[in-house]
Amino acid sequence: MTMTIPFLNFFKKVKSQAMAKTGPVADSTPVAPLEKPSSDRFSKTVMPNATRTLPPQDPFEMAARSSALGNQLQSPGPAGSASSAQRTVAFGASGPGGARSRDLPPAVALALEPRVERVISLDLADILTQMPPDDIKPIESIDGTRRILLKASEVERGMASGKPAVSLATIYQQVPEIFLRSIAPADTAQVHLPFQKVLDQFSSLQVRSDQERHQAVPQVETPFLKVTLEDNSTFGTTTEAVETGDLPPVRIEPPTAEAFAAAEPEAAGSGFVQYRAGDNTATTPTRIPFKLSPNGTDGPAPESVPASSGPSVPINSSSQSTPTRIPFKMTAPSNDLRPKDEPWLTAESLAPAAEMPVASAKENQAEIRISLPLKLILQGLAPFQLEGDPDTVPAEAQVALPFSLIEPQLATGRIAIAPKEFAAGLPAEYRSLFKEAEAADVMLPLHEVLKNLPAASLRMRDDQEQSEAGSNFTTPFSAKAEEDAKRFNTVGAVAAKPMVTPAPIAVAALEETPVVPETPVRESFDVPPRNPLQVAVGTDEKLDAKGVVAEINKLDGVKACAFMFGDGLSLAGSLPAEYETEGLCAMAPSLMQRIENHMVETKLGPLRGMTLVCTKGAITFFMHENLCLAAVHTGGDLTLEVREKLTRIVHELSRKYTHHPV
Amino acid sequence: MSIINYASREIQFKIVYYGPALCGKTTNLGYIHQRINPENRGDLVSLATAADRTLFFDFLPLNAVVIKGFVTKFQLYTVPGQVIYNATRQLVLRSVDGMIFVADSQWEKMEENVESFKNLEDNLAKQNISIDEIPYVLQYNKRDLDNIAPVNYLEYVLNNRKRRVQSFEVISSTGQNVFASLNAVSQILLHKFSKQSDVPKTPPAPVAIPTEAPVTQKQSAAV
């Protein structure tokens, strides 16, 4: 079987170029070290590690080869070279390898760096007794002094528990002749290894003998050094001399916005928890739950995640396929967009909202079309999407597309149209140029879309509130602005609020003003209309996730509750620690999604909740969209009324935390 | 890269604590925050999940000494160690000046240590930086536990490059050698900076910004 390595030719080419730069390795003519920087000359005196320029070799293959030749394998060096770990002090570059890596871009140098397999070796006699006697020849007939190589990564796992082991197949791979039968590579039988001997092997491994170590430098007195010395006296440790050498100088940037942006990761603003200066009691920061997708970019996590250190929470696979889109709506939400399965949203509860002006925005949007230059779009398409030459299309040819398809994507900065939609908008004479059958979306140039936005599409939302025009304070800036406005004659152009200087309170004028009896303020102004979440919870208080948790905890039959997202990350609330339900809660959303998929096959209707009745208690999960609620019961089951209420709450709260692709 | 502020005569260095998940990076920062004089430190900022795992990064600003007339400031960052947060790690690594690689000494974490170190090399390479060009030290953390690998082996696994770097046996939960490793990196950075001759003594000349718009002929005639 041949393996295809991407960019292998490229690496070979770069490698050969680099080797050509450093000179032929096998050149036997003496080279006078003239006109070389001192750093290079020093590095030449360091023993070059020729093996590091070779590609890594599979230790097992080597062992098998040596076994076939009948040679006795030697230990890979560590045991014998324990005393040879002399630390070489050097001030220059790091030898031929170092010179090469400095010449090459870091990514290429890293790719060319050989990957050394970590191995240890043991005498065959050390493990013969642990091997299944039925599978091997009589022990007396086997040369016990043979050494076998073991991958350290395989043995390390067992070291933690004091029982290192290796698979039988690994041993078979190296010494097949001692076996009576062949062992399949997939054979899971394990052979235990002597702990102490394995530990000795690990301990005897030494770093490469040609390592360079930098020179010690005097230390500057810093607050860290002060604490270091204090800690040394506390812990009885000593401070090693600081070593540094030929490192590139510190790159310095002036404090421009770009420099700060480049240096600092973009932190999400509101979720910070801070240690207050002077608070010496807390040793670990108080953590708050924070919703962010696993890779920090709000995109799907990579598929290949090693199992050894996988995610702490399950990843919602269902949400990975669709890209997150930022809703971009300019019109007021219409009733048509409101979910229909919300019986608790009665006309009374939403009466104030119903009075909102509801324009037939959707209908209007459907009518609005945007015309874009066809030639530009066709030129931007991939060749497989085209049937002919786009240059034959005249520059004035246009394609008219429904604006409703484009508007929601404007905020994302990337506008794509389904091939079918695009074909429908094409003028008949140019339809033959476009392959409708191709699945790839048609990308529209953003600048063209923005240039050709229909005027009717850009209007303010209907439900915007007009702020009251307040009085402006006179400041040096406002005076300057007034001057500028006069100078540039732009008073009329700026729709500024009237500039007023705060007048001194004229007591006398107030006295003259007839006292107007205070009119009772309408009740509707005192109590703002409830939003659907407040309706579901049954309170007038302003609610956030924590507030909702507090309200739910007051319900009959609910001992405690917690909200978590579909990917298992916690939103608010907590369950009693004695139940240790963190793992269950993290898994519950994915479990419910699975169950919900199967509910489609039944006639039981949509899934409303999932109750787990256990010997020490019961817990019910409710889920809607991307939000899940876990409620621990106080005693028996929850009443129907409470269940309904919790369903509604989850439903309403999920709207706040779920991004719908518009 | 370091950011130099001529106006306030400050230079900022960025030190990143890197390592596999749950190796003790945040514990390092917590201890530093606790031990350092409040006058010399800012607030420790932390973004974490409910399960107390670093989600984005931890951040702790520290003041050091005056060198060449500049107050040196250190910004300590940690990265989230979990494999899936690689994009975040790449962000945090941007413009890094020095690093502390925190390795977990436990046997079962050895593979993760190696993976994390490779990941560090990869992420630096993506920024066109070789790890040999960045000052860093190694921390072998959790030395107080029972199931730990010998230091020799950790050195063999993580410190087997051409350039040998300093390594420290650390117990971050008690603070043993936490400051020693920070001190080592900060001293290297300060040493580099003090040796440097290209730091201008004077700030660049400010750009003159006109305060008044030029009055045109037409406007002056109107006045």
> Distance (Å) from the C-alpha of residue B102 to the closest C-alpha of chain A?
16
To test the contact with chain B by mutation, choose from A234, A275, A587 the residue with the greatest count of B C-beta atoms within 10 A, namely A275
Q: What is the pLDDT of residue A561?
A: 92
Please tell me the distance in Å from B18's CA to the nearest CA on chain A. Answer: 15
Q: Is A99 within 8 Å of A46 (Cβ atoms)? A: no
CB contact under 8 A, B2 and A251: yes
**In whole angstroms, what is the distance from residue A576 CA to residue A579 CA?**
6
Token pair for residue A430? 């140019």
Q: Do B57 and A78 touch (CB under 8 A)?
A: no
Helix (H, G, I), strand (E, B) or coil at A343: coil
B102 band by pLDDT with thresholds 50, 70 and 90: very high
Q: How far apart are CA A227 and CA B61, in angstroms?
A: 16
Q: Around A523, how many Cα atoms within 13 Å sit in the side-chain half-sphere?
A: 0
Which tokens belong to B193?
A: 């900076």
CB contact under 8 A, B124 and A106: yes
Chain A: closest CA distance from residue B74 (Å) = 11
Q: Who among B94, B106, B160 is closest to A160 (CB)?
A: B106
Contact B183 A228 (CB under 8 A): yes
Confidence of residue B104 (pLDDT cuts 50, 70, 90): very high
Considering chain B, what is the average pLDDT of its residues? 79
Among B70, B115, B128, B132, most A C-beta atoms within 10 A, so best to mutate, is B132
Residue-wise pLDDT for A234-253, tens only, equals: 888 877 777 776 667 666 66
Higher-pLDDT residue of A630, B191? A630
CB atoms within 10 A of CB A463: 13
pLDDT at A474: 57
Tokens in use for A175? 């010494």
Amino acid identity for residue A83 in this structure: S
Confidence at residue B168, expressed as pLDDT on a 0 to 100 scale: 92
CA-wise closest residue to B137 among B92, B96, B183: B183
A552 pLDDT more than 70: yes
* Interchain contact A302–B (C-beta under 8 A): yes
Instruction: Give A588→chain B minimum CA distance, Å.
Output: 16
Homologous superfamily in CATH for domain A532-657: Dynein light chain 2a, cytoplasmic (3.30.450.30)
Please name the member of B4, B33, B196 whose beta carbon is closest to the beta carbon of A249: B196
Q: How far is B35 from chain A (nearest CA, A)?
A: 7
**pLDDT band, residue B99 (cuts 50/70/90):** very high
Contact call for residues B131 and B121 (beta carbons, < 8 A): yes
Closest residue to B38, CB basis, from A219, A277, A302: A277
Taking a C-beta distance cutoff of 8 angstroms, is the pair A59, A67 a contact? no
Contact between residue A49 and residue A156 where contact means Cβ atoms under 8 Å apart:
no
Could you give the 3-state DSSP secondary structure of residue A74?
coil
Q: Which residues pair with B165 in a beta bridge?
A: none
User: Is the minimum CB–CB distance between A211 and chain B shorter than 8 Å?
Assistant: yes
Q: Which two tokens stand for residue B143?
A: 């030395």
Contact A311, B84 (CB under 8 A): yes
Reported confidence tier of residue A264, pLDDT bands at 50, 70, 90:
low
- Token digits for A556? 């009959």
The predicted-structure confidence for A407-439, as pLDDT tens digits, reads as follows 777 766 678 888 888 888 888 888 888 887 777
Q: Is A25 on the interface with B (CB under 8 A)?
A: no
Give the residue carrying structure tokens 């930098």: A214
Residue boundaries of the structural domains of chain A: 33-233, 369-455, 532-657
Burial class of A107 by CB neighbour count within 10 A (0 to 12, 13 to 18, 19+): middle
Q: In degrees to the nearest 10, what's the CA dihedral of A523, A528, A529, A534?
A: -130
According to DSSP, residue A506 is labeled -
Nearest to A250 among B38, B182, B189 (CB): B189
The residue ranking higher by pLDDT, A59 or A396, is A396
Chain A positions in Cβ-Cβ contact with residue B112 (cut-off 8 Å): 308-309
Nearest to A609 by CA among A571, A568, A651: A651
CB contact under 8 A, B51 and A255: no
pLDDT of residue B48: 62
Name the 3-class secondary structure at A141.
helix
What CA–CA distance (Å, rounded) separates A391 from A236?
80
Chain centroid to CA A282: how far?
A: 29
Backbone dihedral angles phi then psi of residue A436, each to the nearest 5 degrees: -70, -25
Question: B162, A152: Cβ pair inside 8 Å?
Answer: no
Which is nearest to A532 in space by CA: A662, A653, A354, A644?
A653
Q: Which residues from B are below 8 Å from A243, CB to CB?
A: 166, 188
List the single residue in B with minimal CA-CA distance to A120.
Answer: B153
Instruction: Using CA coordinates, name the residue in chain A closest to B97.
Output: A250
Contact (CB, 8 A) for A325 and A408: yes
Q: What is the ipTM of this complex?
A: 0.71
pLDDT digits (tens, 9 = 90+) for A277-299: 344 444 444 444 444 444 444 44
Q: Which of residues 549-608 of A touch B (CB under 8 A)?
A: 569-570, 582
From the list B132, B121, B140, the residue with the least C-alpha distance to B180 is B140
Neighbours of B25 (CB within 10 A): 29
Q: How far is B52 from chain A (nearest CA, A)?
A: 6
Q: Write out pLDDT tens, residues A527-537.
A: 567 788 888 88
Domains for chain B: give ranges and CATH numbers.
Answer: 10-200 (3.40.50.300)
In A, minimum Cα distance to B172 occurs at: A283
A and B: number of Cβ contacts within 8 A: 347
CA A37, distance to chain mean position in Å, is 45
Among residues B2, B21, B24, the alpha carbon closest in space to that of B13 is found at B2
Mean pLDDT over all residues of chain A?
A: 66
State the pLDDT confidence band at A139, using cuts at 50, 70 and 90: confident
Q: In the structure, what pLDDT confidence band is assigned to residue A456 with cuts at 50, 70 and 90?
A: low
Q: Please tell me the distance from the alpha carbon of residue B92 to that of residue A314, in angstroms, as a whole number.
A: 24
For strands B98-104 and B10-18, give the pairing.
parallel
Residue B69 pLDDT > 70, yes or no? Answer: yes
Binary contact (A247, B47; C-beta < 8 A)? no
